[in-house]
Structure 1
Amino acid sequence: MITVTGLELRAGARILLSDTTLRVQPGDRIGLVGRNGAGKTTTLKVLAGEGLPYAGHVDRRGEVGYLPQDPRTGDLDVTARDRVLSARGLDVLLHDMDKVQVAMAEAATDADRDKLVRRYGRLEDQFAALGGYAAESDAARICANLGLPDRVLGQPLRTLSGGQRRRVELARILFSDAETLLLDEPTNHLDADSITWLRDYLKGHKSGLIVISHDGDLLDAVVNKVWYLDANRSEIDQYNLGWKAYHQQREADERRRKRERANAEKKAGALMSQADKMRAKATKATAAQNMAKRAEKLLAGLADERQSDKVAKVRFPTPAPCGRTPLTASGLSKSYGSLEIFTDVDLAVDRGTRVVVLGLNGAGKTTLLRLLSGMEQPDTGSVEPGHGLKMGYYAQEHETLETERTVLENMRSASPDSSDGDIRRLLGAFLFSGDDVDKPAGVLSGGEKTRLALAGLVSSAANVLLLDEPTNNLDPASRIQVLDALTTYTGAVVLVTHDPGAVEALKPEKVILLPDGVEDNWSDDLMELVSLA
């Protein structure tokens, strides 16, 4: 259970929340919604104890399981299985039990062996108290449903893709058995089957839950309450309703507010008009003053009129001139240790060509884009720039952003030939203004990082865009902007996505199927693979 009183949150000088009271109780399944940059991620971070409020108090009772947008995966040398089991401390116990078993077999004397047997018994009792082998089975079931088979669970975290590591962290949180779950965009990097399973899992969660998601189907299936964080008013409107009923009630509330404001303004106007007439007579000056006060009181009691949320204006750049084939790759292979990702992949990106990369999670889609961008080097093969190549790379984990540098400094690096005035105007179009431009990129929410990375692409004259899940973390309105930008961009695009809408907007001509590296003409029959990939 979480109880919040007098909460105030700020981002620099901007107030995100003011004097807010919240409560999460067992059985509450809350959808925390609002536009990108409203403060949803900051709010969840403070509720989890990972951030400090500007003012107010957060009281947590029971264990809290928190999945941030950019999960920390701990020691990258541990296996995925051990990372999941560590949520209940089972990984350490299992390793200790294995060591004691080996020591028992090698014991020099009966006394040493008896001592080790007693130690093994104590460890086994602890293991049983934490759920024992049934808990191990539960962890394996959760992992399998999130697209993490035994083959992946046995690998060190450093060999996994960003999407696989995020699913490991989600599995760890769900396995933790925490009383309250705080999940920030849990469906990112999940395929369609895993999302369906997660919906059913969360729908049956009996304790407290807050979820930030732009997946309307998940919110509709899971939540029984909605908190709408209004960035314009720095308030959370709380609705004890499901997702569809919330939308209907919110629209009804807005219509009621407009009627009330119109009626009050009409009455106040009539009172002020009458007061103005009465002021001309000294004998009625007091009455006129009282009438004016009544008009002011009428207007002061009104709720602020809700303003439309701002949306980033995304338009990909006019591509610089280039040769017929600005990007070529041949014989690309990549392995991490003994794990082979793909081998002997060839690719030719012609001017204006639109390519989709498909493959199951872990097939190497992100790795291929990193090789093409120069962020990583292939084990074999080469990437050859063609005449006039100017590449723009959007990384799903936002690795292209320098987290210690500010928003403004990142944009200066992305657009060194632009003036500060032009850069600030562009940042304003992506909803970064005032003190926001002085924030380190590392403290931005996932949606804000997405907007900053996209702003960097817009400022370039790239003629080849490498886009890795560009619609993740975006609110619906911003996602539409990105899809519209994809539709109108005339340069070449190599796209990795789970979003069928992004593929439809791209209208691809080619597809690359990984890990085999087969290049073929696009067919709409492949569309069903997009959300499964």
Structure 2
Amino acid sequence: MITATDLEVRAGARTLLSTNGTALRVQPGDRIGLVGRNGAGKTTTMRILAGEGEPYAGTITRSGEIGYLPQDPREGNLDVLARDRVLSARGLDTLLAEMEKQQALMAEVVDDAERDRAVRRYGQLEERFSALGGYAAEAEAGRICSSLGLPDRVLSQPLRTLSGGQRRRVELARILFAASEAGSNVTLLLDEPTNHLDADSIVWLRDFLQNHAGGLIVISHDVELLAAVVNRVWFLDAVRAEVDVYNMGWQRYLDARATDEQRRRRERANAERKAAALRAQAAKLGAKATKAVAAQNMLRRAERMLAALDDEPVADKVARIKFPTPAPCGKVPLVAKGLTKNYGSLEVFSGVDLAIDRGSRVVVLGLNGAGKTTLLRLLAGVEKPDAGIVEPGHGLRIGYFAQEHDTLDAEATVWENIRHAAPDTAEQELRGLLGAFMFSGPQLDQPAGTLSGGEKTRLALAGLVASAANVLLLDEPTNNLDPASREQVLDALRSYEGAVVLVTHDPGAAEALRPERVVLLPDGTEDFWSDEYREIIELA
């Protein structure tokens, strides 16, 4: 359970939320959809409710366990096996490791007394293991992982060998594994939980969340998930910096929200009409010296009437994204020959050849863990191959969009990030560019690490626009975007004249790109694009 009283949330000097003396509560059985336009402060509010940040003012009390899934995967110990990370939710990982150690001792030692100690120690560990659910719990963890698209081959790998999307699914599996045992004692805080999930996994997740007995707050652009799961809605109004609480399901909320907006418009129109009449009457009376006091009183009444109104709602803004004409380059600006990448004993792919022609459009496909993100990192020069080479052609200028926003400096401000991306561009031009991507005023001084996932995506895309790149390497560019901003990105891709290498789980992104070729990993096979590859994108 979570209770937030007199909560005030800020990002720099900007107030994102003020509850004005009221309390926000999450109790067992509450399944709350936290919604609002991009940049309203949903992710920041969620992080503070989870205890990952401090509010500007107010108090937050928590009881029971908290299962928090942030938009970006946490680093932590990347050498741990994925399976052990999931099992650690119930403390089973350390027990299993110790049991395996005692088993090895029992088989290896020749001293009878030492063997007896190992046997006794193993028995004690097995008893504790059974008390925590034992092998049935381990099997349950496996079922959850499988339902989220994490097969055994992935679970047996260290986290550092997994893609960002796989690590995020491991973290989600860990949270749900804990929740399946603790039930109503766990409050889940899930920020865009369907990112990197295929259609079947999303359906399974909906069912799990519908049956969760504890509390839940979910941020999601997946309307079907919200409609199926939530029984309450918190609307974070970016204009008023307040939360409107709706104790109802999604469809009734949409109807109630529309009614509230109509009511506010009527109230504003009536108040403005009355204020205008008072001002007109005051102007007439003010011409007479004997009526001056009455005129001033009327003006004050008009001002109080307008001051009592909420700020006028504005339509949700979207970024005006347009890639400029790319810098001139040769006929083949980027070539890769015999690329091979291993993580320890795990071979990701071997002997991949790729030539990117000027203006060409390529989609990289493969199942999760096939090395799609790794290939883009090699092409971008972020990582080095274990074998093979990446050869830049004449005039190559790469623009790399990282799935986990690795190209952004989390400690630097929005302004410092864009300045780093385009050091030779005039300041006024960069300010105009940031304005087109909906960054202005105090937000320019906000650290990039405090931005929401959608805001980080917009900032990273702004950096690409500023770079005038002629080859774009895009890793999941539509993740974390609301529908309107997603369409802006897709429109920009349609009109971009340079070359694009795209990794995506979004079939619409591939269709907008109008690709000529696909590269299938881990084999590196090339083929012409056809509609059958759309289905592979949804499964990948």
State TM-score, norm by structure 1: 0.95
Distance change (3 Å), C-alpha of 1:404 and 1:289: closer
- Supply the distance in 2 between the matched residues of 1:109 and 1:344 (Cα, whole angstroms): 51
Which of these residues, 205, 212, 223, is aligned with residue 205 of structure 1? 212
Distance change (3 Å), C-alpha of 1:403 and 1:273: closer
Which of these residues, 335, 338, 342, is aligned with residue 331 of structure 1? 338
Question: Where do residues 69-468 of structure 1 align in structure 2 (5 Å cutoff)?
Answer: 69-105=71-107, 115-177=117-179, 179-280=186-287, 288=295, 291-468=298-475
State the partner residue of 1:522.
529
Instruction: Please say which of residues 506-515 and 103-112 is displaced more in the overlay.
Output: 103-112
Distance change (3 Å), C-alpha of 1:264 and 1:73: same
Q: Are the equivalent residues in 2 in contact too, given 1:317–1:457 (CA < 8 A)? A: no
- Supply the distance in 2 between the matched residues of 1:112 and 1:387 (Cα, whole angstroms): 69
- Supply the distance in 1 between the matched residues of 2:530 and 2:112 (Cα, whole angstroms): 71
- Supply the distance in 2 between the matched residues of 1:61 and 1:353 (Cα, whole angstroms): 55
| 2:533 match: secondary structure | helix
| 1:49 match: secondary structure | coil
State the partner residue of 1:19.
19
Letter matched to residue 40 of structure 2? A
- Supply the distance in 1 between the matched residues of 2:158 and 2:257 (Cα, whole angstroms): 47
Q: CA deviation at 1:376?
A: 1.4
- Supply the distance in 1 between the matched residues of 2:112 and 2:333 (Cα, whole angstroms): 73
Q: Are the equivalent residues in 2 in contact too, given 1:357–1:514 (CA < 8 A)? A: yes
Q: Are the equivalent residues in 2 in contact too, given 1:358–1:365 (CA < 8 A)? A: yes
| 1:328 match: secondary structure | strand
Letter matched to residue 54 of structure 2? L
| 1:176 match: secondary structure | helix
Distance change (3 Å), C-alpha of 1:149 and 1:270: same
- Supply the distance in 1 between the matched residues of 2:383 and 2:114 (Cα, whole angstroms): 52
- Supply the distance in 1 between the matched residues of 2:449 and 2:302 (Cα, whole angstroms): 48
- Supply the distance in 2 between the matched residues of 1:386 and 1:412 (Cα, whole angstroms): 26
| 2:467 match: secondary structure | coil
Q: CA deviation at 1:41?
A: 1.2
- Supply the distance in 2 between the matched residues of 1:207 and 1:132 (Cα, whole angstroms): 23
Distance change (3 Å), C-alpha of 1:512 and 1:58: same
Q: CA deviation at 1:425?
A: 2.2
Letter matched to residue 34 of structure 1? G
The Cα offsets for residues 77-133 of structure 1, whole Å up to 9 and x where unpaired, read as 111100110111111111122223333455666665555444434323322232222
| 2:539 match: secondary structure | coil
Q: CA deviation at 1:144?
A: 0.6
- Supply the distance in 1 between the matched residues of 2:383 and 2:46 (Cα, whole angstroms): 34
Letter matched to residue 39 of structure 1? G
Q: Are the equivalent residues in 2 in contact too, given 1:97–1:120 (CA < 8 A)? A: yes
Where structure 1 has 5 or more consecutive residues not aligned to the other structure, the ranges are none
Q: Are the equivalent residues in 2 in contact too, given 1:327–1:385 (CA < 8 A)? A: yes
Indicate whether 1:2 and 2:12 are aligned: no
The Cα offsets for residues 327-375 of structure 1, whole Å up to 9 and x where unpaired, read as 1222222221221111222222111111111111111111111111111
| 2:253 match: secondary structure | helix
Letter matched to residue 396 of structure 2? L
- Matched length: 533
- Supply the distance in 1 between the matched residues of 2:227 and 2:57 (Cα, whole angstroms): 33
State the partner residue of 1:54.
56
- Supply the distance in 1 between the matched residues of 2:469 and 2:436 (Cα, whole angstroms): 19
Q: CA deviation at 1:481?
A: 1.1
State the partner residue of 2:506.
499
Instruction: Please say which of residues 296-305 and 229-238 is displaced more in the overlay.
Output: 296-305
- Supply the distance in 2 between the matched residues of 1:17 and 1:346 (Cα, whole angstroms): 51
Q: CA deviation at 1:486?
A: 0.6
Distance change (3 Å), C-alpha of 1:104 and 1:516: closer
Which of these residues, 52, 67, 70, is aligned with residue 69 of structure 2? 67
- Supply the distance in 1 between the matched residues of 2:287 and 2:397 (Cα, whole angstroms): 73
- Supply the distance in 2 between the matched residues of 1:280 and 1:460 (Cα, whole angstroms): 61
Distance change (3 Å), C-alpha of 1:112 and 1:526: closer
State the partner residue of 2:489.
482
The Cα offsets for residues 371-393 of structure 1, whole Å up to 9 and x where unpaired, read as 11111122222222222211111
| 2:189 match: secondary structure | strand
- Supply the distance in 2 between the matched residues of 1:80 and 1:210 (Cα, whole angstroms): 26
Letter matched to residue 514 of structure 2? K
Letter matched to residue 14 of structure 2? R
Q: CA deviation at 1:157?
A: 1.2
Q: Are the equivalent residues in 2 in contact too, given 1:73–1:169 (CA < 8 A)? A: no
Q: Are the equivalent residues in 1 in contact too, given 2:73–2:164 (CA < 8 A)? A: no
Q: CA deviation at 1:23?
A: 0.7
| 1:362 match: secondary structure | coil
Let me know the Cα RMSD of the aligned residues.
2.1
- Supply the distance in 2 between the matched residues of 1:526 and 1:71 (Cα, whole angstroms): 28
The Cα offsets for residues 301-330 of structure 1, whole Å up to 9 and x where unpaired, read as 433321223222211121111222211222
| 1:357 match: secondary structure | strand
| 1:45 match: secondary structure | helix
| 1:459 match: secondary structure | helix
- Supply the distance in 1 between the matched residues of 2:425 and 2:301 (Cα, whole angstroms): 54
Q: CA deviation at 1:494?
A: 0.7
Q: CA deviation at 1:185?
A: 1.4
Q: CA deviation at 1:221?
A: 1.8
Distance change (3 Å), C-alpha of 1:363 and 1:260: same
- Supply the distance in 1 between the matched residues of 2:468 and 2:115 (Cα, whole angstroms): 72
Identical amino acids, percent of aligned pairs = 72
Where structure 2 has 5 or more consecutive residues not aligned to the other structure, the ranges are none
The Cα offsets for residues 164-218 of structure 1, whole Å up to 9 and x where unpaired, read as 1111111111111251001111112222222221122112212111111112222
Q: CA deviation at 1:431?
A: 2.1
| 1:408 match: secondary structure | helix
| 1:466 match: secondary structure | strand
Letter matched to residue 14 of structure 1? R
Q: Are the equivalent residues in 1 in contact too, given 2:240–2:310 (CA < 8 A)? A: no
Q: CA deviation at 1:520?
A: 1.1
